[in-house]
């Protein structure tokens, strides 16, 4: 049996009065690309920082390739490449200097020209070859992000952890970053966090959804997207508060997840039985403060699954 | 935490990597900048004092040289140690480094050690040796002894200054990990320098001589302000116990900084 790339059991983290992680359980299989999906403040960065030994859990256990990250943190980190959310590198160093410096910190690293060659290969791979001699201080956020990926790969890690790798990138940068993640999958397990659903659908084999410090779903993308015949996607416009209050009290409604985008509100309504859609349609029509734009069986889009599982936790 | 041969090997590798990166900075443009600054600054200061002073007694040139080395590089060490420990903590560079296979203790020692080595060479050793070359040659010749001091004794005096520099870098590093606020850390370390350097002997307890004070300020009954100066002059002043005590205190502060850093959330 293959040892999971990441195994987390009952991980808890409390910051004074805030409980950032509430008994998180997670398994990421070796060789997979796992998207770690959740709204801001859900606990994604906290989880990753614990794996990297940057913060200590209040309780629980986490291992990378079977190595306990608390007891044998150095050994665990020698097998991980990490891109932090807001990567900070010495501003006086050049792009190549940062990647070479990172390379020298790994055991058994190549020396001298071999290390510089390897660094140049990676810099080329992230599309920064023409800026290899530029100082970090003069780079844009997107360029720093690319350098961050190159320095994460320099130790030939078995696991690459990327915290919001496409955050702040323009559309071209985002596409390039996803292509890069797709390339890395041949060399290492990739565990990356994001709140961009399209990114996860595009490059991930598996997904773990986190909400308020716990995993609400994890597994293959296909499993997560399995269509439930009791989930209905509803798109509404206008004031929906009264309608929502009325529907959540109905015994045949199991749950309602909502998300508002300006005037439009998307719901995923889970019914206790698929035949009950006959009650849902008239109930939605009742009331004059809102319009129904769409009502259909949830079609298995990640967005619907996410909405159903994470709901209105966004921005927590 | 489990410690075995592999972990030690990885930890040593990470420490050497961070220390190497620090020392390479000192071998590059940073080192050149400091070298020029300190050679010109320290020697210019001593030359100005020696040539413009009309005082004809005492080993004025060397006295001023050692006083300057005990003041300016030490204050620079305090500011740079604060910038390193607090600055890298706040900027996220420390988090970047310790997310690699680098132990937190190794990070602290490599950063403070690299700074100490770099500043000792560029701000104390080289400027001191340059001054030692020209000081006995200037007219009017103001050194009290007929011959220039022995190089060995002069190097010992510079070594004592480096120990004091190491103590203040270590203290600032400890305060930096403890307080993690720029400005207040350096201010506290500078206040400590003033207390140790300027505390009047009347209010000093007898054990005070074992603190860095024993290396920074002589008692009033000896002819010089700087204990190392007595040694340079060929006298039998023995600062040995204060040297060991200061070095030991520096190690205690480094150890304290390492322990505190292990608990920091980055």
Higher pLDDT, B59 or A192: A192
> Is A73's CB within 8 Å of B1's CB?
yes
Listing DSSP states for B195-259 in one string gives: HHHH--GGG--GGGGGSTHHHH---TTSS-SSHHHHHHTT-----HHHHHHHHHHHHHHHHHHHH
> Is A74's CB within 8 Å of B93's CB?
no
Q: In what order do the strands lie in the sheet with A290-297?
A: A253-261, A264-271, A231-238, A290-297
Helices (H) and strands (E) in chain A, counts: 11, 14
B162 domain residue, yes or no: yes
Å from B107 to nearest chain A CA?
Answer: 11
Q: How far apart are CA B217 and CA B236, in angstroms?
A: 16
Asked if pLDDT for residue B210 goes beyond 50, the answer is yes
Residue of A nearest to B98 (CA): A54
B184 domain residue, yes or no: yes
Tabulate helix, strand, coil % of chain B (nearest 5).
75, 0, 25
Band of pLDDT at residue B57, cut at 50, 70 and 90: very low
Higher pLDDT, A301 or B24: B24
Please classify residue B196 by burial: count the beta carbons closer than 10 Å to its beta carbon, then call 0-12 exposed, 13-18 middle and 19+ buried: buried
Per-chain mean pLDDT for chain A:
89
Å from B235 to nearest chain A CA?
Answer: 47
ipTM score of the complex?
Answer: 0.84
Q: How far apart are CA A135 and CA B204, in angstroms?
A: 51
Asked if pLDDT for residue B120 goes beyond 70, the answer is yes
Asked if pLDDT for residue A224 goes beyond 80, the answer is no
B13 domain residue, yes or no: yes
With beta carbons under 8 A apart, name residues in chain A contacting B91. Answer: 88
Band of pLDDT at residue B227, cut at 50, 70 and 90: low
B215 domain residue, yes or no: yes
Q: Which helix (H) or strand (E) holds A59?
A: strand A59-64
Q: How far apart are CA B152 and CA B228, in angstroms?
A: 12
Q: What is the pLDDT of residue A215?
A: 93
Residue of B nearest to A49 (CA): B266
Where do we find the tokens 């929906």? Answer: A240
Q: What is the pLDDT of residue B5?
A: 86
Q: Which domain holds residue B216?
A: 6-262
B257 domain residue, yes or no: yes
> Is B93's CB within 8 Å of A86's CB?
no
- State the average pLDDT over residues B66-84: 95
Let me know: does A136 contact A94? Beta carbons within 8 Å.
yes
Q: What is the pLDDT of residue B14?
A: 94
Q: How far apart are CA B134 and CA B259, in angstroms?
A: 45
> Is B96's CB within 8 Å of A89's CB?
yes
Å from A78 to nearest chain B CA?
Answer: 5
Which residues, other chains included, contact A6 with Cβ-Cβ below 8 Å and sequence gap of 6+? A26, A27, A28, A34, A51, A62, A63, A64, A159, A189, A191
Q: What is the pLDDT of residue A159?
A: 97
Q: What is the pLDDT of residue B224?
A: 56
Mutation for A interface: B1, B83, B100, most A CBs within 10 A: B100
With beta carbons under 8 A apart, name residues in chain B contacting A70. Answer: 1
Mean pLDDT highest for which of A134-143, A281-290, B53-62, B211-220? A134-143
> pLDDT, tens digit, for every residue of A52-104?
999 999 999 999 999 999 999 999 999 999 999 989 999 999 999 999 999 99
Please classify residue A16 by burial: count the beta carbons closer than 10 Å to its beta carbon, then call 0-12 exposed, 13-18 middle and 19+ buried: exposed
The alpha carbon dihedral of A177, A96, B102, B106 has a sign of negative
Asked if pLDDT for residue A315 goes beyond 80, the answer is no
Band of pLDDT at residue B220, cut at 50, 70 and 90: very low
Q: Going by DSSP bridges, is the β-strand pair A33-37/A231-238 parallel, antiparallel, or unpaired?
A: unpaired
B51 domain residue, yes or no: yes
Which of A199, A203, A202, A201 lies closest to A190 in space, CA to CA? Answer: A203
Residue of B nearest to A81 (CA): B100
Q: Which helix (H) or strand (E) holds B50?
A: helix B29-52
Let me know: does B50 contact B61? Beta carbons within 8 Å.
yes
CB pairs A-B closer than 8 Å? 78
- State the average pLDDT over residues A285-299: 83
With beta carbons under 8 A apart, name residues in chain B contacting A53. Answer: 98-99
Percent share of chain B, pLDDT over 70: 84
B1 domain residue, yes or no: no
Residue of A nearest to B265 (CA): A55
With beta carbons under 8 A apart, name residues in chain A contacting B101. Answer: 74-75, 77-78, 105-107, 155
User: A35 touching B, CB under 8 A?
Assistant: no
Other beta carbons within 10 Å of A247: 19
Listing DSSP states for A212-258 in one string gives: TTEEEEEEEHHHHTPPPTTEEEEEEEE--HHHHHHHHT-TTEEEEEE
Band of pLDDT at residue B140, cut at 50, 70 and 90: low
> pLDDT, tens digit, for every residue of A106-151?
988 888 899 999 999 999 999 999 999 999 998 988 899 999 999 9
What is the total count of domains within chain B?
Answer: 1
Please classify residue A135 by burial: count the beta carbons closer than 10 Å to its beta carbon, then call 0-12 exposed, 13-18 middle and 19+ buried: middle
Q: How far apart are CA B71 and CA A91, in angstroms?
A: 29
> Is B100's CB within 8 Å of A155's CB?
yes
């Amino acid at each position: 049996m293959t040892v999971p790339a990441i195994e987390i059991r009952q991980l808890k983290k409390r910051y004074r009065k805030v409980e950032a992680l509430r008994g998180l359980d997670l398994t990421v299989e070796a060789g997979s690309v796992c998207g770690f999906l959740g709204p801001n403040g859900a606990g994604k960065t906290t989880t990753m920082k614990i794996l990297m030994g940057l913060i200590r859990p209040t309780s629980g256990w986490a291992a990378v390739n079977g190595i306990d990250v608390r007891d044998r943190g150095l050994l665990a980190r020698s097998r991980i490449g990490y891109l932090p959310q807001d990567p900070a590198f010495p501003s006086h160093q050049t792009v190549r200097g940062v990647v070479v410096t990172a390379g020298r910190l790994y055991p058994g690293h190549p020396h001298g020209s071999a290390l510089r060659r390897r660094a140049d290969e990676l810099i080329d791979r992230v599309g920064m070859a023409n800026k290899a001699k530029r100082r970090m201080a003069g780079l844009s956020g997107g360029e720093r992000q690319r350098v961050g990926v190159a320095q994460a790969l320099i130790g030939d890690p078995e696991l690459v952890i990327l915290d919001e790798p496409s955050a702040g990138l323009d559309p071209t940068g985002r596409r390039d970053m996803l292509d890069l993640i797709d390339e890395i999958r041949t060399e290492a397990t990739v565990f990356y966090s994001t709140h961009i659903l399209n990114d996860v659908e595009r490059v991930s084999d598996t997904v773990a959804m986190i909400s308020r410090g716990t995993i609400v779903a994890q597994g293959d993308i296909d499993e997560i997207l399995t269509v439930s015949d009791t989930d209905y996607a509803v798109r509404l416009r206008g004031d929906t508060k009264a309608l929502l209050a009325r529907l959540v009290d109905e015994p045949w409604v199991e749950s309602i997840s909502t998300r508002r985008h300006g005037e439009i509100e998307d719901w995923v309504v889970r019914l206790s039985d698929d035949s009950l859609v006959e009650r849902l349609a008239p109930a939605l029509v009742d009331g004059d403060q809102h319009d129904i734009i769409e009502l259909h069986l949830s079609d298995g889009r990640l967005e619907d699954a996410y909405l159903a599982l994470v709901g209105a936790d966004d921005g927590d | 935490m489990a410690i075995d041969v592999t972990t030690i090997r990885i930890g040593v590798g990470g420490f050497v990597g961070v220390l190497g990166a620090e020392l390479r900075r000192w071998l590059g443009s940073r080192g050149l900048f400091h070298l020029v600054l300190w050679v010109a600054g320290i020697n210019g200061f001593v030359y100005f004092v020696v040539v413009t002073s009309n005082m004809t007694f005492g080993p004025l040139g060397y006295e001023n040289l050692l006083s300057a080395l005990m003041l300016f590089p030490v204050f620079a060490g305090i500011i740079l140690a604060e910038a390193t420990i607090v600055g890298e903590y706040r900027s996220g560079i420390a988090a970047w480094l310790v997310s690699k296979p680098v132990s937190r203790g190794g990070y602290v020692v490599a950063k403070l050690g690299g700074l100490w080595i770099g500043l000792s060479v560029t701000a104390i050793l080289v400027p001191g040796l340059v001054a030692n070359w020209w000081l006995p040659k200037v007219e009017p010749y103001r050194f009290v002894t007929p011959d220039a001091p022995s190089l060995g004794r002069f190097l010992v005096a510079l070594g004592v200054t480096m120990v004091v520099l190491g103590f203040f870098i270590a203290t600032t590093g400890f305060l930096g990990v403890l307080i993690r606020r720029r400005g207040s850390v350096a201010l506290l370390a500078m206040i400590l320098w003033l207390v140790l350097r300027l505390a009047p002997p009347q209010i000093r307890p007898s054990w005070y001589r074992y603190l860095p004070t024993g290396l920074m300020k002589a008692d009033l009954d000896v002819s010089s302000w700087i204990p190392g100066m007595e040694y340079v002059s060929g006298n039998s002043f023995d600062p040995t116990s204060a040297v060991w005590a200061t070095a030991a205190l520096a190690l205690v502060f480094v150890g304290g900084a390492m322990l505190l850093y292990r608990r920091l959330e980055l």
